[in-house]
């Protein structure tokens, strides 16, 4: 067991072999200069790290219900403020929420919005695997257009999810927080930089991290890094920051790879390569292209 | 309206579950493929280390005067093959158990 990497989150958790989120958790927490307190919404990360009587967490950790992880950390952060004034607890502590996309884009959105608006000093991390994975791959508002899930199946009349992903980054940015960033588990240098910044900021900071799911995206257990890389190289998952309202793209290329290179690595997109679904594939490519252009336009706003 | 009595709420003392690696499932039992590092050829670049979901890779001294080499803890390695995939010089091979 690697001592340095397991300072906060140990081996022995039961995430599927080849799951991406343990790396995200360790990398982000590794950038905190102070001890951390975690609030974690229900989901794969929570379920696989807290199998009684074992916990993989070496940090104080509160399992919240699906909808209230941000409300929980709000209370902890305020209580800490008072108690540290009275000298009862250490002064320097960082507060972190981990939530899945279901727990963030959908069910925990209200409590997240409240905590961002009230300006609590915490870092929110959504590990985005594009669906409700712990319950067997139901669609969320983060599931990409065209993806097959249990609730957006592929069949004679259907081609997977009909709706586009929700643009959560813009929703978060609308709270006027100082720092929000989109990152990717394959780009650890970039992820570390963003985590470090997020911890430095006083007030809320938000990180959205791409987190492939070997089990439900249907790819071999060895592939999460390769697939994550393709997500960014095809502009499906751009790396960017929103700092004091200003957008900045962190990785760009003149020649993005064809979206198909990303899609063909995963069973959830397999149906897009049939003749019948050619228009769906074309629409998906258009969505990715348009969204990328929208992002680039934002970086040019003054 | 119900009045709360003077009596303190009858909550149980909260249970504290402390991390104890001895209670951890030895997830090495899951493995059906086993990664093997060719230590002679490992260039000691550390690329594989942070990507291992089980944090099962350490850099250890192999031969005096050489860079440290990737070394796998098989107690927890689930055999996913991520390390072999990311290794830039492909010196990790996945062998059937
Ligand atoms: C209010 C509520 N509804 C439903 C569930 C069942 N449930 C547990 S985990 C989960 C999926 C979580 O999805 P996400 O937040 O994306 O995390 P992931 O499992 O994908 O990591 C669901 C639906 C629950 N625990 N609470
Ligand atoms: S179902 Fe997916 S997200 Fe959940 S532990 Fe397995 S690989 Fe990870
Ligand atoms: S096979 Fe997977 S779990 Fe085992 S050492 Fe390699 S990356 Fe880690
Ligand atoms: S990635 Fe390959 S060469 Fe680099 S340390 Fe790991 S095994 Fe050695
Ligand atoms: Mg999810």
pTM of the complete model? 0.96
Residue A114 contacts residue A70 (beta carbons within 8 Å) = yes
Is the minimum distance from the CB of A103 to ligand 1 under 6 angstroms?
A: yes
Note the pLDDT tens digit of each residue in A174-214: 999 999 999 999 999 999 999 999 999 999 999 999 999 99
**Encoded tokens for A17:** 């072999």
Cα–Cα distance for residue pair A160/A272, rounded to 1 Å: 9
pLDDT score for B13: 60
Find all residues with CB under 8 Å of A82, minimum gap 6, and list them.
Answer: none
- pLDDT at position A301: 83
pLDDT of B11 higher than 80? no
CB of B52 shorter than 6 A to ligand 4: no
Q: Which residues contact A204 (CB under 8 A, 6 or more apart)?
A: A115, A116, A119, A120, A121, A122, A123, A124, A175, A177, A178
> Of B16, B76, B12, B55, whose CA–CA distance to A55 is shortest?
B16
Q: What domains can you pick out in chain B, each with its CATH number?
A: 25-96 (3.30.70.20)
Q: Which atom of ligand 4 lies nearest, measured to the CA of B37?
A: 7
Hey, whose CA ends up nearest to atom 4 of ligand 2? Answer: A44
**Mean pLDDT, range A127-149, rounded to an integer:** 98
Task: Say yes or no for a CB contact (<8 Å) between B21 and A11.
Answer: yes
**The residue to which tokens 């990360």 are assigned:** A45
Q: What is the mean pLDDT of chain A?
A: 97
- Measured between CB atoms, does A223 come within 8 Å of chain B? yes
In the reported structure, the alpha carbon of residue A302 is separated from the centroid of ligand 5 by a whole-number distance in angstroms of: 34
Secondary structure (DSSP) of chain A: --TTTTSSB-S---PPTT-SHHHHHHHHHTT-SS-EEEEE-SSHHHHHH--TT---B-S-EEEPPTT-HHHHHHHHHHHHHHHHHTTSS-S--EEEEEEEHIIIIITTHHHHHHHHHHT-S-EEEEEE-SSBTTTT-B--TTSPTT---SSS-BSSS-BS--SPPP-HHHHHHTTT-SEEEEEETT-HHHHHHHHHHHHHSSS-EEEEEE---HHHHT--TT-HHHHHHHHHHTTSS--EEEETTEEEES---SSPPPHHHHHTT-GGGGGGGSSTTHHHHHHHHHHHHHHHHHHHHHHH--
In this prediction, residue B2 has a pLDDT band, given cuts at 50, 70 and 90, of very low
From chain B, pick out residues whose CB is under 8 angstroms from the CB of A51. Answer: 25
Please report the pLDDT score of residue A252 as a whole number: 93
pLDDT mean over A88-112: 97
Q: Ligand 3 centre and the CA of A212: distance in Å?
A: 16
Look at residue B15 in the predicted model and tell me its pLDDT.
72
For residue B5, name the pLDDT band (cuts at 50, 70, 90): very low
Segment B25-46 mean pLDDT:
97
How does pLDDT run across A16-39, given as a tens digit for each residue? 999 999 999 999 999 999 999 999
Question: Which segment of A99-103, A129-133, B13-17 scores lowest on mean pLDDT?
Answer: B13-17
Rounded to 5 degrees, what are φ and ψ at B87? Answer: -60, 120
Q: Is B75 helix (H, G, I), strand (E, B) or coil?
A: coil
**Tokens coding A249:** 């793209």
Say which DSSP state B46 is in. Answer: -
* Confidence check: pLDDT of B88 > 90: yes
Structure tokens at A69: 């992880």
Residue A227: Cβ within 10 Å count: 20
Does A55 contact chain B (CB < 8 Å)? yes
- At B12 the pLDDT is 54
Measured in angstroms, the CA of A113 and the nearest CA of chain B are apart by: 29
Question: In which residue are the tokens 């899945």 written?
Answer: A100
pLDDT digits (tens, 9 = 90+) for A33-57: 999 999 999 999 999 999 999 999 9
Band of residue A286 on the pLDDT scale cut at 50, 70, 90: very high
Looking at residue B8, its pLDDT comes to 52
Distance, CA A190 to ligand 4 centroid (Å)?
21
Share of chain B above pLDDT 90, in %: 81
A57 touches chain B (CB under 8 A): yes
The pLDDT of A3-19, averaged and rounded, is: 98
Taking contacts as CB-CB distances below 8 angstroms, the residues of chain B near A27 are: 50
Q: Is the pLDDT of residue A247 over 80?
A: yes
pLDDT tens digits, A258-272: 999 999 999 999 999
Q: What percent of chain A has pLDDT over 70?
A: 100
Looking only at the bridges linking them, the beta strands covering A246-249 and B33-37 are unpaired
Give all domains of chain A, ordered by start, each with its CATH number.
21-301 (3.40.50.970)
B interface residues, A as partner, C-beta within 8 Å: 17-21, 23-27, 30-31, 49-58, 73, 75-76, 78-82, 84-86, 94
Res B28 pLDDT > 70? yes
Residue A183 near residue A208 (C-beta atoms within 8 A): yes
Using the beta-carbon criterion (under 8 Å), do A18 and B81 form an inter-chain contact? Answer: yes
Tokens standing for residue A75: 């209370």
Candidates A201, A205, A259; CA nearest to A233 is A259
Q: Does A17 touch chain B (CB under 8 A)?
A: yes
Rounded distance between C-alpha atoms, residue B13 and residue A68, angstroms: 23
CA angle, corner A124, sides to A192 and A1, nearest 5? Answer: 50
Q: How far apart are CA B66 and CA B59, in angstroms?
A: 12
CA distances to A27, A32, A122, A172, A267 from A177, rounded to whole Å, are: 23, 19, 11, 8, 37
* Residue B63 DSSP code: S
Mutate to test the pocket of ligand 4, among B35, B40, B46, B62 (most ligand atoms within 8 A of CB): B46
Question: For A264-292, what is the mean pLDDT?
Answer: 98
- pLDDT, one tens digit per residue, over B39-75 is 999 999 999 999 999 999 999 999 999 999 999 999 9
The per-residue pLDDT for B1 is 42
């Amino acid at each position: 067991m690697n001592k340095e990497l397991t300072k906060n989150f140990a081996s022995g958790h039961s995430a599927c072999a080849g799951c991406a989120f343990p790396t995200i958790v360790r990398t982000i927490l590794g950038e905190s200069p102070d001890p951390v307190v975690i609030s974690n919404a229900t989901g794969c990360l929570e379920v696989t790290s807290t199998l009684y009587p074992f916990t993989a967490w070496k940090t104080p950790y509160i399992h919240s219900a699906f909808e209230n992880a941000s409300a929980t950390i709000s209370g902890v952060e305020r209580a800490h403020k008072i108690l540290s004034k009275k000298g009862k607890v250490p002064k320097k502590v960082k507060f972190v929420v981990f939530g899945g996309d279901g727990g963030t884009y959908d069910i925990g959105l209200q409590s997240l919005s409240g905590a961002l608006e009230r300006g609590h000093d915490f870092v929110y991390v959504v590990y985005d695997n594009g669906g409700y994975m712990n319950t067997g791959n139901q669609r969320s508002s983060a599931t990409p257009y065209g993806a097959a899930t249990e609730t957006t199946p592929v069949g004679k009349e259907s081609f997977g999810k009909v709706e586009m992903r929700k643009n959560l980054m813009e929703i978060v940015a609308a709270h006027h927080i100082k720092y929000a960033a989109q990152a990717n588990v394959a780009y650890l240098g970039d992820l570390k930089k963003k985590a470090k910044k997020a911890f430095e900021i006083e007030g809320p900071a938000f990180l959205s991290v791409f987190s492939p799911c070997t089990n439900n995206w249907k790819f071999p257990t060895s592939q999460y890094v390769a697939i994550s890389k393709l997500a960014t190289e095809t502009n499906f998952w751009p790396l960017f920051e929103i700092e004091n309202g200003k957008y900045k793209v962190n990785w760009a290329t003149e020649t993005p790879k064809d979206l198909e290179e990303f899609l063909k690595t995963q069973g959830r997109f397999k149906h897009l390569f049939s003749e019948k679904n050619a228009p769906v594939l074309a629409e998906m490519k258009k969505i990715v292209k348009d969204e990328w252009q929208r992002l680039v336009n934002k970086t040019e706003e003054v | 309206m119900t009045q709360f009595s003077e009596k303190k709420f009858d909550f149980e003392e909260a249970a504290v579950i402390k991390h104890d690696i001895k209670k951890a499932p030895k997830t090495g039992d899951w493995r059906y493929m086993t990664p093997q590092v060719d230590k002679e050829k490992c260039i000691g670049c550390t690329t594989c280390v942070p990507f291992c979901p089980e944090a099962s890779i350490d850099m250890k001294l192999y031969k005096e005067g050489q860079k440290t080499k990737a070394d796998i803890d098989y107690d927890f390695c689930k055999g996913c093959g991520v390390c072999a995939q990311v290794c830039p010089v492909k010196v990790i091979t996945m062998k059937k158990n």
